[in-house]
Chains A and B, each alone.
Chain A
Amino acid sequence: MQTNNSSQCQLFQLHIDAYLDDELEPSRVTEFNTHLAGCESCRRELAYAEQLHRAVVSLPILDCSDSALEPVDRLFRAGGTAVTDNMAPVHGTGSGFRAALAALLDAIPAPVRIGVPVAAVLLLAVGVGRQLPAPGGDPGLAVQPAGTATQPQYTEAEVVKAMQDLELALDYLGQVSARTEVLIEDRFLHRQLRESINASLSTDLNHDPQATGSDGPI
């Protein structure tokens, strides 16, 4: 950029865009025009500013490819009823309940995802274990420790019901745990192992010019 120590040059070059956009007061325009008439440096600067401006405004308006908007068309055709399933596939596997469950589980941090079911199972086991009579003993004849309040006694039907509830709870927790296990295994073990093997194979192929194409990535 040309430098000019004249304060008038600096002032003009500071306002050159306002000058080009015709946003200056008429008196200022006249002042600048007078200056320009005698200043080669500012004339060149003005010419360059206009040239650059023309180049910028002449940059074309671009359009994206139709394929880029295909997913939007799909959404449009589907009537927008399943935005998540159509537009943002969760992990690229399936949809509906499975995808929703995977997304839900994903949103929970891993320690909580695993720890909570385990803690729940332990708590249930301890709680139920305390309620059950000693092995081999008669529920009605359980000996109470001296000096403690009398524990409430349960009928056999109540115990059976509690056991059924416990089984249901354990079954549900088992399903959640199994699902979590599969997700973790897929995400942290299988995928990483697969990528690691692929990376190794790629490295070997790159290093070995004799290698054939039969050992492609997994």
Chain B
Amino acid sequence: MMTQYKQAISQYRQRVFSFAYYSLRAREDAEDITQDVFIRLWQHWQKIDHDRIGAWLMRVAHNSVVDHLRRNRHEQQRVDLPDTLEEAVAVEDPGLESEQFRGALESAISSLADPHRSIVIMRDIQGLSYQEIEQTLNLSQSQVKVYLHRARRQLRENRSLRELAIEHNLTGAGEERGRPTETEQGHGAGVNRINTEGISHADQ
């Protein structure tokens, strides 16, 4: 039991923490939630289905995040990074531009309503399978896809984000940062790779 519990912590701590962090954009709160989630895992160890620990943990994390946001609704509105166009164009360092874009992107994600926010984080950032997301949020696969597409559309329609990206020509902004766990998770396998100068689909 002890070994399994330890393994579960090392296997899922990043997933739980990342989910909480991108939902709240507050490191300390995310750490508190991570701690709470693993304590609950210990407390419910005998009762849970050990084949679905990941989904169980993410469900607990999701519930904790929702509770936290409900309790701190007003404070949450304050912690969003300023991402107005005026502030964005004032940045001259290309590295900072990327950071600024990333901050604005994180802010836009965290400001999405649930379950859009959770699904974008789980699917696009963490690379979870549709099945894992279904189990976690108790939704059907078609619902997950609909919410995911709506969430992405909302991100695209975020005016500040769009203007920031265009203003600084941040094409491939995310490519500067590696994602060591991406390959392990087989993330993005189903995503078409499109030549931004043209249209790859036209050649298929």
Contacts and interface: CB of A to CB of B under 8 A. Distances in A.
Interface string B187-204: 110111010101101101
Main secondary structure of the interface of B (DSSP, over half): helix
A43 B199 contact: yes
Contacts of B43: 80, 83
B85 to A, nearest CB: 14
A50 B159 CA distance: 16
Contacts of A62: 14, 17-18, 21
Interface in A55-91: 55-65, 68-69, 71-72, 75-76, 80, 83, 87
A76 B42 contact: yes
A206 B151 CA distance: 47
Interface of B: 2, 5-6, 9, 13-15, 17-18, 21-22, 30-32, 34-35, 38-39, 42-43, 101-102, 105-106, 109, 120, 124-127, 145, 148-149, 152-153, 155-157, 159, 161-162, 165-166, 170-182, 187-188, 190-192, 194, 196, 198-199, 201-202, 204
A195 B162 CA distance: 47
B4 to A, nearest CB: 12
A61 B35 contact: no
27 contacts: A1-B159, A20-B191, A21-B191, A21-B192, A33-B204, A43-B199, A48-B156, A51-B171, A52-B156, A54-B174, A55-B174, A56-B125, A57-B179, A57-B187, A57-B191, A59-B22, A59-B125, A59-B179, A61-B18, A61-B126, A62-B17, A68-B35, A69-B13, A69-B34, A69-B35, A71-B35, A72-B42
B103 to A, nearest CB: 11
Interface range, A side: 35 or more
Contacts of A23: 145, 190
Contact of B196 (A33, A47, A65): A47
A76 B5 contact: yes
Nearest to B197: A47
Contacts of B15: 61
A37 interface: yes
A18 interface: yes
A49 B161 CA distance: 12
A56 B14 contact: no
Contact of B175 (A17, A36, A58, A76): A58
| Residue from A43, A62, A75 having most chain B Cβ neighbours under 10 A | A62
A29 interface: yes
Contacts of A17: 148-149, 152-153
Given A62-B21, A76-B5, A1 B162 contact: yes
A183 interface: no
Contacts of B127: 57
A33 B102 contact: no
A18 B159 CA distance: 22
Given A18-B149, A21-B190, A51 B173 contact: yes
A69 to B, nearest CB: 6
Given A21-B192, A72-B38, A75-B39, A53 B152 contact: yes
A59 B173 CA distance: 10
B171 A37 contact: no
